[in-house]
Amino acid sequence: MKTSIALLFFILLTGYVSKAQVQYQQRNDFNLTVSGTSTLHDWQMKTSKIACNATFTFYEDGDLGGLTLLNFTMPAESLKSDHTGMDDNAYRALKTSKNPTITFNLTNATVSSDGKKITCTGKLSLAGVTKDIELTAAAKVNADKSINIKGSKKLNMRDYNIDPPSFMMGAVKTGENVTVDFNLTFRQ
């Protein structure tokens, strides 16, 4: 009798915490904006060209339970502003001739108990320098089982050995801090 009760308790407990892994890919539902300041005006560069995949885990009730894989690769020269001269200066600063891609590879992730917040640590490679960073994002599982991830991260260009671009023989200088805003939707 005690064995039966223990087995029933174990089955109930296992059913409650069991998770299913599901592989997702980002498919043309991605927006990334890098914004910063300069002595002349604020600026933005945007891209929607990215290759990204992730493996999420779900509880039996459909709630988001975890993130076990996340990586992305983005062509650095896919970042575009409204000014080609600014783009050229940014590409030189990012050293795109030697480092054509920007990548992120997940090392660890936690999902809040309500499944609405993901905190990731991983390695960001930018301009030939790889650093550990932490990203926090809002997560939403949609009715069609797609997952929307939205967040923002401030970076200092000098942390990646990037000299903030300047223009007009140094008369216009950009600030060394940038903000990266991302909004992507993963689908099975």
Domain definitions of the chain by residue range: 19-187
Q: Give the residue carrying structure tokens 């993963």.
A: 186
- The reported pLDDT for the residue numbered 170 is 64
pLDDT in tens, 124-178: 999 999 999 999 999 999 998 889 999 999 999 999 999 887 766 666 788 899 9
Residue 51's H or E segment, with its range, is: strand 51-59
* Best CA proximity match to 85, nearest among 181, 183, 174: 174
Can you give the pTM of this predicted structure?
A: 0.83
Domain 19-187 architecture: Beta Barrel (2.40)
Compute the average pLDDT of residues 81-96. 90
- The reported pLDDT for the residue numbered 8 is 38
Compute the average pLDDT of residues 88-111. 95
3-state secondary structure of 168: coil
Which residues in 60-165 belong to E strands, given as ranges? 64-75, 101-111, 117-126, 129-141, 147-156
Model confidence band, residue 9 (pLDDT cutoffs 50, 70, 90): very low
- The reported pLDDT for the residue numbered 35 is 94
